[in-house]
Chains A and B, each alone.
Chain A
Amino acid sequence: MPFSLDKAADSYDVIVIGSGLGGLTTAKRLSYCGHKVLLLEFHHQLGGLATWFKRKGHIFDISLHGFPYGMVKTCKKYWTREITDSIVQLRNIVFDNPQFSLQTTFDRLDFTALLNKKFKIPQTVIDRFFATVAGMNFYDDQTMTTRELFEQFFPGRTDVHRLLMEPITYANGSTLDDPAITYGIVFSNFMNKGVFTFEGGTDKLIRMMTEDLEKNGVMICTNAKVERILVEKGKVRGVEVNGRVITAPAVVSNSGITNTIYNLAGRDVFSSDFLEKADAIRVNNSSCQVYIGLKKDSSIEDKGDLLFTSTAPVFDSSELLDMHTHSKTFSVYYPKTRPGHDRFAIVASMNSRFGDWSSLSPTAYETEKKALIERTLVDLNRYFPGVNEKIDWLEAATPKTFNRYTLHTHGTSFGTKFEGLAVSRSIFKEVPGLFHVGSVGIIMSGWLGAINYGVIVSNDVDSYIRSV
């Protein structure tokens, strides 16, 4: 059980601000390396965007729609065997839009067959495409965009572009105009073996991670909002949290990179060169979600685990971001997803822009939220006719909701665009002792990206602490 802040000591080897998957993993790794770690979370619950909420007997997962197989190796190495053992495959991924309808396991083998048989793409082109994306590295040339990559291999084939791009846009907010490497790395991760989920739900994962951290001696405090990162003589001295000063030679912020620079550390501690790069960071889009709970003892047929649906004629990155988008994913949580919990739940997710929602008057905001739920139900009825009568809980979240719970700039769901990675990676060279971990650069986002980035940053932090 996490503690309240008054139980924390006055000094630690390292303070981690925020308990998203990046922050949790950093705390784990650094305690494993032998350091005395304090983890501070503003919310009453740990996990950041890896979160859930309970309503009327339902448990809704926010960001458990699917992750790549790489999570198995990552959890085995950096977390526990028990966590690893709960990772299971989602076998039935559905696409339904005016250009095509299909079911897939979303892996290279199945995609190769689909592209060849259904989309009539020659085998050699498919093989070359897979080899190209599999060979992409984050330090490669970034001048080619995903749009150019698709045009090179599948010129004019908007249906193929849609098949390849739509899921990745939902997975990390990237568009056709982002660097092709941000697409290729994430797409290849999924194509390795398909889409996986955590059996038992996000609450079980975070509970297991919390127990593991406590076993490793990490001090965890919730309801602890860090107001400032203290920098003295150009170096990190500690943090100010709920009006109290706690010192440490190293501070790792899992708050958003823009928040960390502008609000927690403050512009005055950085050089103008660094600020120029920071000012150029574009945060990624936010999301809307509709949470749908079915009555006890009611059920729906198994129509797939993850449904990528759209009534838009073709795929268009900006259409997916529109507040009245005709595109959304449905994640269907059958009782098998959470053994022992016999309820059905559905979460509809859409990408969304913060500005579209934050500019509304309070009444217009409520009206738009209702309309969002209505549109979602119309779409859902195409797959589960008559589902309306079975529903006993309906609720919507908007970019404003995400902003309120995570404090992230513009409620970003997937950190920043590519340029954020270099800034995050170099912040400790600017202010010794100050580190950032968390979704940046598109590739370091998602559950897998955030955990792996936690390990990468921990290596920098461990090296730093041992050298001072």
Chain B
Amino acid sequence: MTRAAIKDLILEIIKDIDEDADFNTLQSDQPLRDQLDLDSMDFLDIVMELRKRHKLQIPEEDYPQLASLDSCANYLEPLLKNV
């Protein structure tokens, strides 16, 4: 999966969590939490959704790696390289 596809995947999952989420002004190097008003339950949803869709097991200590779109891409790129 390319970095762009990974970012789209994350945005798609967030859209499922909150259909009103507005991505227009989203900056990919800034924390998603502050920009989209996500809480820790929302991040848990992202983790579960990644496991469901791509059998990815993300250990709890790695959750902070999902903070921004860029960091998601950095972290997930090697894990999703064959997808």
Chain A residues in the interface with B (C-beta under 8 A):
29, 33-34, 74, 77, 452, 455-456, 458-459, 462-463, 466-467
Contact = CB atoms under 8 A, between A and B. Distances in A.
B12 interface: no
Contacts, number: 28
Contacts of B52: 33-34, 462
A1 B44 CA distance: 31
Nearest to A463: B57
A34 B55 CA distance: 12
B51 A463 contact: yes
18 contacts: A29-B48, A33-B48, A33-B52, A34-B52, A77-B17, A77-B41, A77-B45, A452-B41, A455-B41, A455-B44, A455-B45, A456-B41, A458-B48, A459-B47, A462-B51, A462-B52, A463-B57, A466-B55
A466 B57 contact: yes
Interface string B25-62: 00000000000000001001101100110010100000
| Closest CB pairs A-B (n = 4) | A459-B48, A459-B44, A33-B52, A463-B57
Main secondary structure of the interface of A (DSSP, over half): helix
Contacts of B55: 466
A455 B40 CA distance: 12
A29 B52 CA distance: 11
Contacts of A33: 48, 51-52
A467 B59 CA distance: 12
B48 A467 contact: no
B44 A467 contact: no
Nearest to B55: A466
Which residue of B41, B45, B52, B57 has the most chain A CB atoms within 10 A of its CB atom?
A: B41
B19 to A, nearest CB: 9
A427 to B, nearest CB: 16
A78 B57 CA distance: 21
Contacts of B48: 29, 33, 458-459, 462
Contacts of B17: 77
A466 B45 contact: no
A459 B46 CA distance: 11
A34 B17 CA distance: 18
Given A466-B57, A467-B57, A456 B51 contact: no
Contact of B44 (A34, A456, A466): A456
B13 to A, nearest CB: 12
Contacts of A458: 48
A152 to B, nearest CB: 27
Contacts of B45: 77, 455
Nearest to A456: B44
Nearest to A467: B57
